[in-house]
Chains A and B, each alone.
Chain A
Amino acid sequence: MGVGDPVGMANAHALASGLGGMRAAGDLVARMQMTRGMRLEQAKQYVAGKLGVNAIDLSDPLVMHDVRAELGLGRIPVQELTYPDQPGALEAKFHIAEVLDIPVNSVERFSERVGWGAQRPRTSRVAH
């Protein structure tokens, strides 16, 4: 898109035509475009199907707040709606990868380095 003056550019576009990012499901639809090259309608249908909602719900912050809470997909911290048991960023991305059935690079790199699904990296210089 291109950004600059946050109100004139970022906010104006976000309010005029944006899916809302993490306050709804914009980041999830974006991931299907990015990882699978899906065009918009296909990406929306795919995400809606995986979340068990209708495509029109994907920009609804109330619906998506509950869905994201239920599936642990991460939510924007908002004073009274921030809970200590909600997942942190990387935890949420583990859930996103599972729910959308796509590889998320940071999740893959984390898993690889802690030894999940691969040989665990050596943590001692002493041979056993």
Chain B
Amino acid sequence: MGDGALVEMTPSAIRADLEDGTQAAAKRSKLPPLGEDELAHLHDIFCSNARFSAVDIGDEVVLSFDGSGNADVGSRVEEMTVYQNHHGADLTELWNIDYSYKAIKTILSYESNLMKSCQLNLVAPCQYGAMPDLGRYSQPDGPVPNWSELMPLGKIAEARAAQEEAAEHATRDMLFVTDAMAEAGADGMDFDTAGAAGDGDFLATLRAVEEIRRRYPDMSIEVGMASEFVLGMHGELEYDGKRLAGMWPHDQAKVVAAAGATIFGPAVNVNTRRSVAWNVARAITIVKKCCDESTIPVHMNVGMGVGGVPMTPYPPIDAVSRVSRSLVDLTRMDGL
């Protein structure tokens, strides 16, 4: 199940969930549902009693381990080495437990020195990651009036102005951190859960990406999303002439690529009360067009509670491996 619980299902019940999942996604996103061959392949994967499932030899993809480590093994540099040497990470990510660029700015000297140590100890690429986290710029935590308090009062123009101002602060902080990480030798930057606070959050990220690409032409930039479509907290913000509110992954990928990113990470939320089969069929339906059309690599977010992976701290490997294989087999995405 989407909450990680083990359930016994008949083949016909699994088939019904796959069909319902893809139809639910198609109805919501206006994208085509999965075809008969695709549903049959998923049915085979989910009807197997095997404890583990995997892609065919030769079909392996790149795994970018966003947020490598759990702060449970010695130093964070050691954790990166553990992920490189023991977990087969193709790409590691240095991060801080306060996973927000606004917070990182205040401890940047420590973080950039750690990045230097990582670069001296790792062969696998190592990027730095955190959230754009626009909400942190609103009062009482930040300098800008709180748009979530202004909107219920009917002060829509003021709420919009507050988000625009917050976006400028967020972009500036992302650039400030990036400059230091670039000097410390980072292979790339990850802007994780972009759009978590809505379209203003996403716009701040896109503007940061655009400037980073101008300053560092060869730097890797990964933009991972917070959810399947961009919330219209502002509603009128645009990038490259396209309205950000309500964007689905295939359009998100286009603006992310236009801004200059090199890796796009779509996110589809999990319904914990539905089966993993239902959630996977739904997730694939939503991201398939994005994988088909994207001009840059697509690395699906498949952490706990996204992309079909159960929402639990200890995801069962039978579920995770089926999600992993299903996404790669059906979408031919570039990584996870």
Contact = CB atoms under 8 A, between A and B. Distances in A.
A22 B84 contact: yes
B88 A105 contact: no
B324 interface: yes
Contacts of A19: 60-63, 88, 90
B132 interface: no
B5 interface: no
Nearest to A19: B60
Contact of A3 (B58, B68, B119, B295): B68
B316 interface: yes
B54 A3 contact: no
Contacts of B184: 109
Contact of B69 (A3, A11, A17, A38): A3
A55 B58 CA distance: 8
Interface string A49-65: 00000011011000000
Interface residues of B, number: 76
Contact of A16 (B120, B299, B321): B321
A115 interface: no
B57 A109 contact: no
A73 B303 contact: no
Contact of A13 (B57, B314, B336): B336
B17 interface: no
A10 B314 CA distance: 11
Given A93-B123, A105-B186, A14 B334 contact: no
Contacts of A126: none
Contacts of A6: 70, 87
B205 interface: no
Contact of A103 (B63, B67, B123, B218): B218
B61 A34 contact: no
B91 A2 contact: no
Contacts, number: 230
A29 B314 contact: no
Given A4-B70, A20-B88, A106-B119, A34 B262 contact: yes
A8 B303 contact: no
Interface in B118-158: 119-125, 127
Contacts of B63: 1, 13-14, 17-19, 21, 26
Given A3-B67, A3-B303, A96-B123, A76 B85 contact: yes
Contacts of A5: 313-315
A76 B54 CA distance: 23
Contact of A34 (B59, B65, B187): B187
A5 B70 CA distance: 8
B187 A106 contact: yes
B220 interface: yes
Contacts of B185: 105-106, 109-110
Contacts of B220: 33-35
Nearest to A25: B90
Q: Which of A2, A27, A34 has the most CB of B within 10 A?
A: A2
B335 A12 contact: no
B304 A21 contact: no
Nearest to B216: A105
Contacts of B335: 1, 30, 33, 40
B183 A29 contact: no
Contacts of A22: 84-85, 88, 123-124
13 contacts: A2-B304, A3-B67, A5-B315, A8-B314, A9-B303, A16-B55, A16-B321, A19-B90, A27-B124, A30-B90, A56-B57, A89-B122, A105-B185
Given A1-B66, A89-B119, A93-B123, 20 more contacts: A2-B309, A8-B315, A8-B316, A14-B63, A17-B59, A17-B324, A17-B325, A18-B62, A18-B63, A22-B88, A26-B90, A27-B91, A33-B263, A36-B262, A40-B297, A43-B62, A55-B58, A104-B187, A106-B119, A109-B183
Interface of A: 1-23, 26-27, 29-31, 33-40, 43, 55-56, 58-59, 73-74, 76-77, 89-90, 92-93, 96, 102-106, 109-110
6 smallest CB-CB distances across A and B, nearest first, come from A2-B303, A34-B220, A106-B185, A26-B90, A74-B123, A16-B324
